[in-house]
Structure formats: C-alpha cells, structure tokens
C-alpha cells in the first residue's frame, strides 16, 4: 500500500494552508492613492487634512477616503484618472508639501494586524521614481591629484626640504626653493611611478608624467596624470559612486532598486514604489561628512567675523543661526573614520549616535583628555552640485557648505562612541543614513527625473496576469485530458505551487517585475514537467506488468533522481543570475528560484499525498492515468 503517515499529510496540508494565508493580501488589490507629507519631515497637522478634503470637494474630485497614516496623509481614489487629477490640484494648492503617487493596499485590518502584506511590485508594474545622475569626473581627478599633493608635502617636511607641491586644474606644480634640495626633491617625485606605496593608490605602473620647468625663476616640476590613470580614476569614481548610491538606496528601504552605470559618466537609479521622492533625492544627491574640531576659546569670533580675518591657527565658521564660531585648524576626527551612525532620541531630544574606528577613537580619547571643560564643535560638510551656464555650455560646479551643527563642552573623557545633539528630528533622520552610506568619490548632479505613475504599469499587470492564467489553464486542460485522475492531482499541486510562490514573494517582500512574471510562467511548465516524468515512469512500470501500487511507488522513487538533477542545475543557473545580474534579471532569478523550491515540494510530495489518498488505502486493478495502460 502507498500511504503517508499522518504527520506527513498534516505537514502538506499545513504548508498549503499557511501559504494561502500569506498569499491572501494579494487578492484584495490596491487603490490608486496620493501620499501627502511635509518637506521638513514633520507630521502633517490636522488643518492640512481638512484643507486637502476641502480642495478635492471644491474641484469635484471624488475620493474614497483621506486619513492620516504615520506622519503623512493618505488619500485613496477609485481610479487612476481621479488620482492624477487630484495630484495636479494638490501640488498647486499645498506649499512646502510633497504629493507622491502611490498604491495603497486594500488589505483587511485582521490581516494587517498579523503583519501580512501583498507582494511588492517593481517599477514597471507599480511605478516609482527614475533618476539619472551625471558624475563630475573632473573633480574626481582633481581630488586624486590632491592625494599626491598631501603626500609630497608630508615627505618634504619629513626630509626638511624647502619645496612645496601646489595643485592646479589638471596638474601639480612643485617649486624647489633651494638649489641644494633639487636632487632630493627629484628623487621623491620620481618615486611616484612606483607601483607600491602610498604615492600610488590605484597601483598604475605609468601613474604620472613628470616634466622639469621654471616657475618664477625657481626650478620646478609639473606632474600630470597619464591618460591610462585618468581613465582608471574616472572608472573608479563611477564604480565608487554606484556602490555608495546603492548603500544609500538601502537606507531608504526600497525593494529591488536598479542602480547601474549608464554611458561614460552617468548613473541611473530607479526606485519602485518610492513614497517620498524628495527625501530620496536629498539622500542620493548629497555628499555629506563630518569634522570634529576644538573651538578656539582664546579669541573672539565676532571680532574675527567683523574683520573677516581669523587668527593664524584658526578658521571661521558659522552655526545655522548665523552665529560665528572660531575653530582650531587641526581636525580631531574626520568623516572617513566613522564606522556607524544611527538616529534616535536621548532624554527626549533628537540625536545621532556616532561610532568611530580604532584610530578615530584614539584621537578622540587624546583630545578629550587634554581638553576637559573646553568646547568642541561638530562641523557638517555638504557638497552640493549644480549646473551653471557659461559661454553657452552647461558646466558642473560644486558648492561646498560647512555648518557648525553642534558646540558642546567636553564634560568627560570618551573615545569611539558619542552622540551629536542639537538636531531637529528631520535633520537627525537624514544625517544618519548619509553618514552610514559613505561619501561620494565625486559630486553628482541630477540631469533627469521621471515619476512613473501606477497607471503606466497597469497594462503590464494585466498582460502578465493573462500570461500566467492562459499558461496555467492550457497546462491544466492538457494534464486533465492526458493523465485523467493523475492529471487532476498534478493540477491541484500546480495551483498550490502558484499559491506558495505568491506567499513567499509576499513574505520576503521581493519585488515582482515583468521578468519575474516570466519566471513564474516558466515555473508552471517546470512543475508540470516533473509530474510528466513521474507519470510516464508509472506507465512504464504498468506496461512491465507491475501492480498498480508497486508502479506508483516505483514511479515516484525512480523519477526522483532525474527531477532533482534537472531542478538543481536550473537552481544553480538562477543563483548565478541573481549574483551577477541587476534589476529585472534579479527579479527573474528570484521567482525562478522560489518556483523551483515550491515545485519540488508540490510536484513530488504534494501529488503523491493526493494519489495516496485516492489509491493508497485500497486494492485497485487499474489506474486512471490515461494512455491506454492497464
């Protein structure tokens, strides 16, 4: 007899029931909606909700509901045209607010309480925001030249040579002030072409081109990057910026984004279903870092501001309210020594908790030990790119802003862990992910932005749904006609397979894209293919004169190795696509991988459980498996 133990039947039933519950939120659909939030990140007040309702009613725009959802207002509509019309009206009526197109799930409250959500849809199905950024490769090259300048001047000081390296637009000038130092300076400069050492961060064999010249009557050298190193540095800047943007997108919590290089100097970023395009733009486009400096408490900052001339070893900066602050030139800790940054609250006040690496922690420890009861400042540095027109051409220019965001007296000795206070909740929320994601290797500027509304993906959703349904129904009809009762079991397992795929996608919140739908359609065919192998093996056993029960057992056991080999090789291919692919390719790989796992369960264990329930507990002389077999 072919029987499963009770626990195995309950396992199959439990998996199907649990999967059905997980997949339930997807049957209720979504409402076209608008999310209205404040630009400063604060909660939307009650009067704004009243104003939204009044504006929509005055314009005769019907809406289902308008209510608060966390810090924003969510307005639901019956259809997309109403949503788009309301979007234009509210954008004109509301100042200092962000009106974002979105889809609001109609999931019942009892499912939301359980934490269940529908599948996340990709940009091609749900809509979202598309950014195209241009990387300032010229600044990247200049920054790289700056690493040579700093290293050369350090070596000149250590060797007590009267020479100084100065960065120009595309090269470095080294002036030798004493003739007797010329040979030693030339030796240090010549070492720049070594493939090892701090002088050559990219490890290029032909790193620089060195020319002797005369500047202001003094022997000098001009150091230029070779063409190969310029290209290498630019490629490095693009690669580093792409990685940093990916990290920043992860901080936004966007599912399955696309961040990839486009052309020579551009990066495309697609954020499916993003609900706050303004925050996304702030996080992606800014170059932010911190510097921690001691305050110059011995001199008057207001007097330095009045004279516009700070003391020799100090620099003059301003707080956000315009109050001048004199800071020591020496940097205690810089942003590149930061390991982690998280936002939160301390004693009811917004703060950012900072953790430094070992070197930064040691410097902070020394600074706090030597300067107890003295003030220390945190300087927030942001580089904002902008396009300006000069001579009929658009030129990328970087504007550097340095603001003192916090001045506090050192009350105790600390090292690697400390907190920055004096921030608004909005500033703390934005600052922490910016610092965690790291600085950009070169400034970027947004050259294109497109908001893709949900209506654009509706046709894709309908076509994808039709493709799955038509493929499913054709397979069901074929299996039912060709394999009869066994075909019915395969169809039930196939239906359960689709439910489990949807359940896993909902549980993992993996974005479903058009290529993902293709993966589901392919999985339908693969799941049936496993049952075809089993059923044909059963037919062979029956043709060889075996009993029906023995044929069922032999069919499942002997076909298993073939099915496993085929699915394992396909699963390996899917993993390779996931590891090396981007965006839509990953979407295809995810649904294909999940489909392989679920089909192995439903096609082998699921169908056998059904066949066992039909035939396993009784003696039969003939199986309804089609093909004229006995």
| Average pLDDT, integer, range 572-584 | 80
H/E stretch holding 570 reads helix 548-580
Helices 548-580 and 514-543 meet at what angle, rounded to 10? Answer: 160
Q: Taking the CB of residue 175, how many other CB atoms lie within 10 A of it? A: 18
Asked if 574 contacts 592 with a C-beta cutoff of 8 angstroms, the reply is: yes
Give the 3-state secondary structure of residue 269: strand
User: In whole angstroms, how far apart are CA 130 and each of 303, 368, 387, 533?
Assistant: 49, 46, 19, 45
pTM over 0.75: no
* Cα 94 versus chain centre, distance: 30
Asked if 589 contacts 575 with a C-beta cutoff of 8 angstroms, the reply is: yes
| Average pLDDT, integer, range 220-249 | 79
State residue 385's pLDDT score.
Answer: 59
3-state secondary structure 238-297: HHHHHHHHHHHHHHHCCCCCEEEEECCCEEEEEEECCCCHHHHHHHHHCEEEEEEEEECC
| Average pLDDT, integer, range 133-152 | 78
Report the mean per-residue pLDDT for the chain.
Answer: 80
Angle at the Cα of 244 from the Cα atoms of 239 and 250, rounded to 5 degrees: 130
Give the integer Cα–Cα distance in Å for 4 and 606: 11
Sheet holding 218-225, edge to edge: 163-167, 171-176, 218-225, 208-215
| Average pLDDT, integer, range 151-167 | 82
Q: Residue 295 has which token pair?
A: 């305050």
Half-sphere exposure for 91 (CA within 13 Å, toward CB): 10
Residue in 375, 295, 292 with CA at minimum distance from that of residue 327: 295
Which DSSP string do the residues of 146-157 spell out, in sequence order? Answer: HHHHHHHHHHHH
Q: Above 90 in pLDDT, residue 166?
A: no
Give the integer Cα–Cα distance in Å for 128 and 453: 7
Q: Residue 541 has which token pair?
A: 């056993």
Q: pLDDT band at residue 288, thresholds of 50, 70 and 90?
A: low
| Average pLDDT, integer, range 348-364 | 82
Q: Above 60 in pLDDT, residue 270?
A: yes
Angle at the Cα of 13 from the Cα atoms of 570 and 482, rounded to 5 degrees: 60
Q: pLDDT higher for 280 or 251?
A: 280
User: In whole angstroms, how far apart are CA 38 and each of 74, 127, 138, 286, 427?
Assistant: 13, 21, 36, 20, 14
pLDDT in tens, 15-34: 999 999 999 998 887 788 88
- Lowest-pLDDT range of 80-89, 217-226, 302-311: 217-226
Dihedral of alpha carbons 581, 582, 588, 592, sign: positive
Give the integer Cα–Cα distance in Å for 529 and 522: 11
Q: Above 80 in pLDDT, residue 169?
A: no
Q: Residue 128 has which token pair?
A: 């979202």
Give the integer Cα–Cα distance in Å for 576 and 589: 8
Asked if 258 contacts 122 with a C-beta cutoff of 8 angstroms, the reply is: no
Give the integer Cα–Cα distance in Å for 350 and 434: 16
Give the integer Cα–Cα distance in Å for 44 and 96: 11
H/E stretch holding 461 reads helix 454-508
Q: Above 70 in pLDDT, residue 468?
A: yes
Asked if 131 contacts 278 with a C-beta cutoff of 8 angstroms, the reply is: no
State residue 88's pLDDT score.
Answer: 83
- Torsion from C-alpha of 480, 485, 486, 489, nearest 10 degrees: 80
- State which of 251-260, 453-462, 557-566 shows the largest mean pLDDT: 557-566
Give the integer Cα–Cα distance in Å for 498 and 502: 6
Residue in 27, 614, 400 with CA at minimum distance from that of residue 625: 614
Asked if 286 contacts 440 with a C-beta cutoff of 8 angstroms, the reply is: no
Give the integer Cα–Cα distance in Å for 188 and 186: 6
Q: Above 90 in pLDDT, residue 284?
A: no
Q: Residue 290 has which token pair?
A: 């911190």
* Percent of the chain predicted with pLDDT > 70: 86
Residue in 35, 60, 246 with CA at minimum distance from that of residue 127: 35
Q: pLDDT band at residue 199, thresholds of 50, 70 and 90?
A: very low
State residue 387's pLDDT score.
Answer: 61
pLDDT in tens, 404-414: 888 888 888 88
Q: Above 70 in pLDDT, residue 461?
A: yes
* Cβ-Cβ contacts under 8 Å for 603 (sequence gap 6 or more): 490, 493, 497, 527, 528, 530, 531, 534, 563
Structural domains in the chain plus CATH codes: 6-24+453-615 (1.20.1640.10), 30-105 (3.30.70.260), 137-232 (3.30.70), 289-436+444-450 (3.30.1360.200)
Q: Residue 400 has which token pair?
A: 């550097």
In sequence order, what are the beta bridge partners of 377?
293, 407
Chain length of the chain: 630
Give the integer Cα–Cα distance in Å for 281 and 517: 30
């Amino acid at each position: 007899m072919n029987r499963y133990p009770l626990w195995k039947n309950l396992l199959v039933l439990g998996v199907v029931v649990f999967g059905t519950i997980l997949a339930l939120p997807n049957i209720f659909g979504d409402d076209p909606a608008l999310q209205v939030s404040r630009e400063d990140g604060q909660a939307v007040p009650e009067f704004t909700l009243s104003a939204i309702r009044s504006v929509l009613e005055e314009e005769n725009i019907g809406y289902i509901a308008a209510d608060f959802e966390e810090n924003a207002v969510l307005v639901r509509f019956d259809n997309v045209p109403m949503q788009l019309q309301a979007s234009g009206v509210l954008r004109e009526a509301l100042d200092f607010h962000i009106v974002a197109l979105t889809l609001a799930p109609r999931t019942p409250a009892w499912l939301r309480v359980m934490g269940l959500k529908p599948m996340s849809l990709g940009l091609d199905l749900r809509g979202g925001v598309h950014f195209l950024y241009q990387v300032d490769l010229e600044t990247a090259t200049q920054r790289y030249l700056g690493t040579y300048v700093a290293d050369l001047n350090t070596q000149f000081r250590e060797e007590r040579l009267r020479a100084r390296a100065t960065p120009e637009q595309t090269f470095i000038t080294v002036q030798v002030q004493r003739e007797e130092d010329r040979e030693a300076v030339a030796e240090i400069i010549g070492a720049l072409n070594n493939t090892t050492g701090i002088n050559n961060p990219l490890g290029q064999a032909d790193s620089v081109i060195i020319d002797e010249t005369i500047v202001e009557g003094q022997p000098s050298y001009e150091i230029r990057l070779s063409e190969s190193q310029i290209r290498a540095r630019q490629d490095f800047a693009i690669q580093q910026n792409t990685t940093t943007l990916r990290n920043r997108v992860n901080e936004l919590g966007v599912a399955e984004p696309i961040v990839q290089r486009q052309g020579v100097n551009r990066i495309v970023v697609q954020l499916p279903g993003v609900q706050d395009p303004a925050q996304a733009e702030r996080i992606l486009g800014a170059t932010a870092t911190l510097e921690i400096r001691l305050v110059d408490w011995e001199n008057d900052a207001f007097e330095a501001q009045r004279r516009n001339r700070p003391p020799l070893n100090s620099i003059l900066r301003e707080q956000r309210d315009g109050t001048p602050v004199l800071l020591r030139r020496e940097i205690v800790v810089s942003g590149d020594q930061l390991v982690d940054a998280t936002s939160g609250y301390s004693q009811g006040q917004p703060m950012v908790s900072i953790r430094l690496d070992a070197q930064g922690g040691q410097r902070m420890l020394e600074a706090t030990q030597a300067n107890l009861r003295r003030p220390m400042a945190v300087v927030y540095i942001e580089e904002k790119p902008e396009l300006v027109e000069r001579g009929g051409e658009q030129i990328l220019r970087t504007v550097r802003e340095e603001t003192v965001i916090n001045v506090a007296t050192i009350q105790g000795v600390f090292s690697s862990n400390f907190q920055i206070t004096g921030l608004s909740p909005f500033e703390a929320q934005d600052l922490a992910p910016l610092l965690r994601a790291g600085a950009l290797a070169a400034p970027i500027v947004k050259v294109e932005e497109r908001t893709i509304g949900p209506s654009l993906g509706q046709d894709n959703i309908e076509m994808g749904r039709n493709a799955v349904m038509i493929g499913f129904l054709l397979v069901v009809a074929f299996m039912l006609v060709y394999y009869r009762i066994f075909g019915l079991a395969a169809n039930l397992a196939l239906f359960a397979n689709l439910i489990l795929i949807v359940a896993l996608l909902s549980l993992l919140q993996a974005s479903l894209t058009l290529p993902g739908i293709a993966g589901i359609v392919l999985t339908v065919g693969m799941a049936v293919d496993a049952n075809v192998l089993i059923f044909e093996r059963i037919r062979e056993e029956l043709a060889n004169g075996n009993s029906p029960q023995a044929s069922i057992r032999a069919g499942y056991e002997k076909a298993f190795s073939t099915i496993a080999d085929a699915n394992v090789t396909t699963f390996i291919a899917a993993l390779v696509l996931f590891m090396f692919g981007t965006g839509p390719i990953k979407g295809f790989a995810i649904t294909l991988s999940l489909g392989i796992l679920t089909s192995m369960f439903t096609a082998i264990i699921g169908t056998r459980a059904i066949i066992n329930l039909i035939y396993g507990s009784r003696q039969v002389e003939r199986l309804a498996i089609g093909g004229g077999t006995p």
